[in-house]
Amino acid sequence: MCGIVGYVGSKDASSIVLEGLKKLEYRGYDSAGIATVNGDLAIRRAEGKLVNLENRLREAPLDGHLAIGHTRWATHGAPIERNAHPHADEARVIAVVQNGIVENFMALRAQLQQEGHTFVSDTDTEVITHLIDKYLAQGDGLVEACRRAFRQLHGAHAIAVVSKQEPDKIVTVRLGNAGGVIVGLGQDENYLASDIPAILDHTQQVVYLEDKEMAVITAGQVNFYRLDGQPLRKETHQITWDPISAVKGQYRHFMQKEIYEQPQSIQSTIRGRVDFTSGQVHLEHLSLTPAEAKAIERIVIVACGTSAYAGQVGKFMLEKLAQVHVSVDYASEFRYRDPLLDDKTVVLAITQSGETADTLASMEEGQRKGAKLWSIVNAHGSMAHRISDGVILMQAGPEIGVASTKAFTATLTDLFLLGMYLGQQRGVLGAEESFELATALAHLPELAGETLVEGYNDYQTLAKLYHHCEHFLFLGRGLNYPIALEGALKLKEISYIHAEGYPAGEMKHGPIALIDDNMPVVCIATQDHVYDKMISQIEQVRARKGIVIALINEGDNEVAAKADHVLKIPTAHPLLTPVLSVIPLQLLAYHTAIWRGADVDQPRNLAKSVTVE
Ligand code: F6R
């Protein structure tokens, strides 16, 4: 959840690291800090957002050509400067940054205190500093001292260490699944980061560290080792992301930019995967023979948050298009419930970041029990990508806004493609139906674009009228139920309004008690097979004087006449309608949050990559 950046070369290291941290601030923004080695070890840290560290650096700049930096999402210890990374030893020889949790830190801390070490922070990370310090005092060089310290840590970590006694190098390690450690390769300069956007302006050549792998990074070379000291040869990957896609451009917020990018990201998702003359789908990293496709008895989707809601829509798509049983589990529940799995089951993980701890643990559970492992992942090269037997790489580009938007619609599009592919391989979809589905898909980017045209829906009026409300209800049925969940999640996470998504038919079994003339109820009532049922539920809300905001297909005067307000979408294939219906809900949440003065890109308490349990 925290972000780490490192640089060694001939340029001003602290400014490169600061710029990199800005691209990782989505991972945490409780405090930030940078350490440079330039003869001496110098550290600047500041509580709160990165801008505070930037101001501090303006008052007291850091010189030097080697630096590590950190942006924190607090786990152990309050988000105050004393607990900000980097953490130095008492003699200020070394500095350490960490992403993850040292699960045995209490025992290590007690032992180190007994040995005479004085702790100045409440963090678990500080034990790493003192452990390395202890081994340096015993005569080890930096790399060996780090190795001995790392081997004592329980839990999952990404760590970077610098020392003024060995001022040319950064030592880094990945232990378990605490988020990525990416080494960026340059010309007489090298980089280190938790995620690609941090270094994308400088290099597109990267090496991913796996569990229990270390790198020793100097300006001229990078050496890789296993934790036991064995040298390693690592493959270099070329990143294809465009550096421009990781900047805000003309938009006020990343979330806004990413909402408006959806026609393009949906287009990129489809590009090259569908033959529009035959309707045949091809997925580059998931090739199955018809026999293999027919042998699949069950698909178990595992994911968290928005990705789990995408999975719930995916269940409808896969069951309809491929005639295969699908269940959807929250990864945090799945991993602990001893699920029944076998080699005829596919565990399909959905994850934007490819780093979510619960999702990765569920994948490992699937692997252990002999299931096939597939994933839909946006972060190319991430852990989820690398451990999968088959993968669909989202083509959404980097998603920086903490609230997921374009990754959701890209996932829905990928799930539709997967449904078509499996349906074709399993002999469920014939030529005519494949052609119709492909044609429907071809229109999708344009329809998403229409939904986003200026003035198509009046979000300002709605946000102005209802931003002061403390509760919202979102109702949907069938495919629109997960969209109701997603609409509610978007609103609560960026505007802090309590919002609940509910299957509309269940409303009368309880939540109806909440409805009064102060309760906006967003009713998703697109024209599908449960449209009439949804109209009855709108009537029930109206009868209790609830404020009805109906999400309808353009031209639906019947529901429009019953609603206080409408949000409309163009008509699409029923299975693709959720890709459109979520867009007005993203924008409703966005504008409401703006009216409430909330920080849209960095909502309180949240982080983009949830690499801890
Ligand atoms: C909500 C949101 C989260 C993520 C969830 C899973 O806007 O972003 O609910 O969807 O933390 O993250 P990934 O997809 O990276 O596994």
CATH classification at residue 162: 3.60.20.10
Mean pLDDT, the chain, rounded, equals 93
> Does residue 39 sit in the same domain as residue 141?
yes
What confidence tens digit (pLDDT) does each residue in 275-315 have? 998 999 999 999 899 999 999 999 999 999 999 999 999 99
Hey, whose CA ends up nearest to atom 8 of ligand 1?
404
Q: Look at the chain and count its residues.
A: 613
What confidence tens digit (pLDDT) does each residue in 192-212 have? 999 888 999 999 999 999 889
Alpha carbon of 32 to those of 4, 24, 25: distances in Å?
10, 11, 9
Look at residue 613 and tell me if it is in a domain. no
Q: Which atom of ligand 1 is nearest to the CA of 379?
A: 15
Look at residue 432 and tell me if it is in a domain. yes
> Does residue 117 sit in the same domain as residue 204?
yes
Nearest to 345 by CA among 326, 358, 331, 328: 326
What percent of the chain shows pLDDT beyond 70?
A: 97
> Does residue 231 sit in the same domain as residue 266?
no
Nearest to 575 by CA among 450, 413, 429, 405: 413
Domain-terminating residue out of 420, 451, 482 = 451
> Does residue 255 sit in the same domain as residue 235?
no
> Does residue 521 sit in the same domain as residue 438?
no
Pairing of strands 390-393, 372-377: parallel
**pTM of the prediction?**
0.79
Alpha carbon of 514 to those of 266, 340, 472: distances in Å?
37, 38, 10
Count of domains forming the chain: 3
Look at residue 27 and tell me if it is in a domain. yes
Active-site annotation holds for 608: yes
4 CA to centre of ligand 1 in angstroms: 20
Give residue 389's pLDDT.
95
604 CA to centre of ligand 1 in angstroms: 15
Give residue 434's pLDDT.
97
Hey, whose CA ends up nearest to atom 10 of ligand 1?
306
Look at residue 197 and tell me if it is in a domain. yes
> Does residue 386 sit in the same domain as residue 269?
yes
* Contact present, 394 and 414 (Cβ < 8 Å): yes
DSSP state of 506: G
pLDDT band at 76 (very low <50, low <70, confident <90, very high): confident
Looking at 82-86, 115-119, 336-340, 406-410, which range is the least confident one?
A: 336-340
Range of the domain at 317: 248-451
Active-site annotation holds for 146: no
150 CA to centre of ligand 1 in angstroms: 29
Whichever domain contains 473, its CATH number is 3.40.50.10490
